[in-house]
Amino acid sequence: MNDANDSYELRSGVPDVDTFRHLRTASGMSDRPAAAVAAGLPRTWYGVTVHTGDGATVGMGRIVGDGGMVFQIADVCVLPAHQGRGLGGRIMAGLVAELERRAVPGAYVSLIADGDAHRLYAKHGFVGTAPHSVGMHRLV
């Protein structure tokens, strides 16, 4: 079957610094300083990128954490022109498959769902933590 999604390829890895920053900002997420991105990307436990048939990077997602007990899914985004084609689901499926393959059973995996993204994450087994716990954050 020749589906529009066949023109996309999911690859293991992370984008370069400039592509990472572009994907985030063009997808409506906040920018991150180039130096912070350069320091953080190599420490990714596992990442995926989505590419068009001509090789353009149009989406990504990463798993960060200590590699044993605690993981966080971060930076899941798809450029607006490519949204609505199931690419976010493919990113999540790739990330979850790697967790199931390599993470120790019982490892804690968290994420922060912006807007309606919780619907996508729920399809991959994620549930809200309230009222038992409340997600919190702090910017430095």
What is the per-residue pLDDT across 50-97, written as a single tens digit (0 to 9) for each? 999 999 999 999 999 999 999 999 999 999 999 999 999 999 999 999
Sheet holding 8-12, edge to edge: 8-12, 46-52, 57-65, 70-78, 108-110
Residue ranges of domains in the chain, CATH in brackets: 7-122 (3.40.630.30)
Looking at residue 90, its pLDDT comes to: 98
Looking at residue 140, its pLDDT comes to: 87
Looking at residue 5, its pLDDT comes to: 57
Looking at residue 1, its pLDDT comes to: 32
Q: What is the DSSP string of 14-39?
A: ---HHHHHHHHHHTTPPP--HHHHHH
pLDDT tens column, 119-140: 999 999 999 998 999 988 888 8
- Checking DSSP bridges between strand 70-78 and strand 108-110, what pairing results, if any? parallel
Measured from the Cβ of residue 38, the count of other Cβ atoms closer than 10 Å reads 13
CA–CA distance, 107 with 57 (Å, rounded to integer)? 30
